Structure 1
Amino acid sequence: MAQRFRWTRRGYVAELEDAELRLLRGLVKDVVTLLENRQDEVAPPGSDAGTAEDAPEAGAEPVADARPGDAVGRGEETPHDAAFWALVGGLDLAADPVAERSAPEDPAVARLLPDAMPHAEPAERARQRALTEDALTAAKLADARRALEALRSVRVTVPHEHAVSFGRALNDVRLVLAARLGIETEQDAARVHAVDDWRDAQDVEATMALLYNFTTWLQETLMAEMLSELPLEGAAGPDEEEERA
């Protein structure tokens, strides 16, 4: 049986069984896969801006009205001028500068990457998503990959400085499981929390419910230890004890 996270000088430490460790690693890897697939989905089509076809040919007669008033317009191209026109040659100045992006169709990915402005008009939500989603995805991938490093042994040790990141990674696992389980209301949550015995894992939904509850419990023990580290007047600080009971 798993043992809760406890504070130590080396970090927050929990003891898991082999099966629990494998399941938790698999759940975190699922989060990574979902996020990486989303990155591939929204990546722009491969294109080489500023190709040789767009750049002026060597020795070609410069177009005077394209570079008004400069030396290049008089056929006296300088290295600086050439570098500038090579840079801007592939730009499509007629393109709409306001990018938009639709929300993920997969409910689990949509929970991982929610709308930045959920109550805004659809067009504004799409613009905000285009501006913010990539950074959020990268941050969540960093959390998940760091968590996988900690989940290499049944004795899970999370350095103090990575505890918040690890907690976020566990929460992302919970978000995915909650989406798969259809948790939308307090009644839904109560239904899932009622599944608390591994002998009840007779189908996929019951198994996911148990994994959701296990991940929730593990995250809560980590958060409790982090809160207990906050200084209290007259209480022993973390430097005065090796491990809290």
Structure 2
Amino acid sequence: MSTRWNDIFQLPETALAGNKRVPKTMLVAQAALTKHEQKTLDKIRRLEHFATATKATTRMLPRVDDERDIQSVIYLRCEMAGTSQAVAEVAHLVHKCFPNPTVIMQDVGDKTCVSVSLTRKSYAERGATVMEAIESTGLFDPRAPEWQPFLDAIAYPMLPQGDLYEYLSAMASDVMLSRAIDALGFYPQARAGDHERILVLVNRYDVVRSEVRQLYEQKRAPDVTLNESAKLRIRIRKAENQQDAILNEIKELCNG
């Protein structure tokens, strides 16, 4: 299944790039990729230039100041090879290949993933940019009803358009919030005054969820002793209780 991406993003026709193929050789040369990184590109069947958001194509102003030089945002569609689900690894590499902020849509069978990179000026090298952050949804089914409010939220008309950074930063926040959908059963939305608090809670939830996964991995290790296993079980229970408390607070804010 190939997602009809502009039904979701609703970008102006002037921004669309016609899904032109982006040669992998261009990425290799542009980012001076290592042999190992080039092997990661083998997990991509096809990479396409979907759209470019600039002042000319969207009327959004660039953001040029001491911290940032964002004059365009590039949208890329990535069709993964076979059933490869290495979406995080591939997205991180492709984001790194572009000096511009990028939005990447990855299709894996009937699942998809949206990731957004934010960039800033390099403190060490004049004229260079560095990746500041990458936010990713992880794989999800775009037909699932619980994901529809998220897809509605990242549409061009729904995002602030003061300038390109404001637009992209809001989309990145929406992507971060989406990572709580599977646990909550819905996309977390609240009153404007509670929005920042929910972002903090979802970020905290990500940290605790990662901690729980690591603890379970330690507990499954073949050389773990009974005493160590018992201690890990206590830590897991405590972390899972933290997860539940965070999710409950998010639910209260969304219902309030």
Give the structure-2-normalised TM-score.
0.27
Quick check: which one's helix share is greater?
Answer: 1
Question: Higher relative contact order at CA 8 Å, sep ≥6: structure 1 or structure 2?
Answer: 1
- Say which one has the larger Rg: 1
Which structure is higher in strand share?
2
